[in-house]
Structure formats: C-alpha cells, structure tokens
Amino acid sequence: MSNDKAILVVSFGTSYNDNRARTIGAIEELIAYHHPDWEVRRAFTSRMIIRKLAERDNEKIDYVTDAMERLANDGFKTVIVQPTHIMNGDEFEKVESVVEQYKGRFEKLCLGKPLLTTDLDYDMVMDAVDEGIVKESANLGHRTAIVLMGHGSEHYANATYSQLQMKFITSGRKDVYVTTVEGYPSFEDTLKLMEGKGYTDVALYPFMLVAGDHANNDMAGDDEDSLKKIMEAAGYNVHCFVKGLGEIQPFQNLFLAHADQAIDG
C-alpha cells in the first residue's frame, strides 16, 4: 500500500454496531478493495455518536477535523474525502468547511460529492432504487406502493427530496414515493399523493445510509405517529424493510463511483 495516498470516508455515523458494519463498513471495504494502493480511513460528523461509542464501547472514531489532522501529521500527500451523505445539507457543509481549512496541508486534496448532487446522480439513484428496492418488493403484488423515508431538514437542500419525487413521477415510476421525518414532503403529504391510486399494500424503506433510530422507530415503530402506523390507519397493508441504503449493492456502487470521480478530478 502506498504511504502517501489516503481516502477518508466521512459519514454522519451510527451507534448501531451491526448496522454500521453492514453499511458504512461495507462502503469503506468496497472502496478499499477497488483502490488497494490507497489507505482508507473513517471519520464521522456526529460528535454525539462519537462520544457515545467512546463511552459505551471504548471505540475511538475521529471527527473530521481530527482525521484530517492525523492524515497531515502522518505525511499523506494526496487525500480524497468522500462523504456518504445523501444530500448537500448541513452535515456535508461541515465536511466542506473542514476540507477548505486543510487545502494547504496536502499536495492534492479533493472532496467527493454526496449521493444526490447532479442531475445524473438522480437518474442513477432511481436506477439503484429499481434494482435494489423495487425488485425486492415485487412479490408483494402490482398494487403496492414503495415509500422511501428520508430524514428531512430545515436546510434548503431539503428540496432534494421533492426533486427526487418529481423525477420518479416524470420518468414513469409513479408507484415510488419519497417522504421525510422532519421535512417536506411530510407523511401526510405523501398520503395525499397516494390517494385514489388503488394501492392495497405499502413497502416502507429508509432513504438513509443506515437503518438507525429513525428507521426502527419513526418508520417501523409501533407508536401511533410512526410511518407504519399512519399508513396502517389509512387502510394499507404495510411491509417494513429496515435496511439502510448502505446495505444495498447498487447504492454502495454509487458511493464508490463518486470516490472514483474525486480521484480522477
């Protein structure tokens, strides 16, 4: 392995250890496999999760600044920073800000893109949904709606979810819906879009890298305000698939492709 090239994979993070291995870990391993002459390292943008893992599991994970400082001190000359964030929102801006601070510390420093950045990214994500999600739920029948639940944000990048929904509709994939826990479209907005379409069943998937608290509770939980319970109250048979995008091979490949683009440019 070269001692002067590194790829720093930056994620929000999760305290669900098994899920972390199947999602964040799987993406890191895929990138490392395809770039054996690069050292692959990890950083999180959630200080809360970093603290929790340190206190609960005695596991040390770097915040982005700490990871960048270590890379500089360890003598790396070429560094690629690849985020696993879905959109160009608050968490990505944290990474962007840190990378800007370290531009003078390396001979080459490139920042990769979040999952949904360019118009082509949306097309590729729709294909990944077809391949990794729609095919999995095909046995539920032709009267099944697929609902992807994202986090949502007050950041203007929350428009990402609406753009993706419009792309599904205008491309003819009219049985796929995008909703959010904390943004727009809300659960109620999505129910309105689904009205009168003749669906009997709904397949719920988290549109998040990992299936953590939001996927287990806000999506698949038994509280009356969970997405599952709201859909059931509307009369649908609900099927929950509690798996993060990072577990699904076509999405892993998209993050690898973004890392490749950063390496090339």
Cβ proximity of 193 and 177 under 8 Å: yes
DSSP three-state, residue 239: strand
Strand order across the beta sheet in which 176-180 lies? 176-180, 144-150, 201-206, 237-240
Catalytic residue among 35, 151, 214, 258: 151
Q: What is the DSSP string of 247-262?
A: GSHHHHHHHHHHHHHH
Indicate if the alpha-carbon torsion angle 100, 101, 104, 107 is positive or negative: negative
Closest CA to 69 of 41, 90, 89, 30: 41
SS3 73: helix
**Would you call 151 a catalytic residue per the annotation?**
yes
SS3 196: coil
Beta bridge partners of 108: 78
On whether the CB atoms of residues 31 and 260 are closer than 8 A, the answer is no
Active site residues: 151
